[in-house]
Amino acid sequence: MEFQDLVETIGRTVDLAGVAAVVGGVILATGIAISRLARREEGTYRRFRRFLGRSILLGLELLVAADIIRTVAVTPTLESVAVLAGIVLIRTFLSWSLELEITGRWPWQKAEAVD
């Protein structure tokens, strides 16, 4: 197996892990939410959204890593790096938006002390 084939395989594997993180998160978050709804627990929707958001964030991080692996290691042309920059920019914006939605603050803001 050549280097490019190996890197492409690794990139696809990391892509698969990103998709699995999102899909697994949806399944787990839904199962937990249904269980909590059946017990009539309060805050179920908020917890569901937080769990789901974290799963999506993890998936996005893995997908960005896969793009970086494949783009930089396999075909480091100016055009492919520019496309990668666009993808990373969009996914970073999505990550920040999800972080704001989950925690109520931007990623660079300090967490409030919890007593």
Is position 110 within any domain?
Answer: no
Q: Is residue 17 predicted with pLDDT exceeding 70?
A: yes
Domain count, the chain: 1
Residue 73, pLDDT > 80, answer no
Amino acid at 79: E
At a CB cut-off of 8 Å and minimum separation 6, what does 54 contact? 25, 102
Q: Which of the given ranges, 27-41, 44-58, 96-110, has the highest pLDDT on average?
A: 27-41
pLDDT for the residue numbered 79:
85
**42 is in which domain, residue-wise?**
3-103
Residue 53 inside a domain? The answer is: yes
What value does the mean pLDDT of the chain take? 86
Query: Cβ distance 61 to 72 under 8 Å?
Result: no
Write out the chain in H/E/C secondary structure. Answer: CCHHHHHHHHHHHHHHHHHHHHHHHHHHHHHHHHHHHHCCCCCHHHHHHHHHHHHHHHHHHHHHHHHHHHHHHHCCCHHHHHHHHHHHHHHHHHHHHHHHHHHCCCCCCCCCCCC
* 108 inside domain: no
Does 74 fall in a domain?
Answer: yes
pLDDT digits (tens, 9 = 90+) for 94-111: 888 888 887 777 777 776
pTM, entire model: 0.77
- Residue 114 domain-assigned? no
| Predicted pLDDT at 115 | 43
Give the pair of three-digit tokens for residue 6: 């190996």
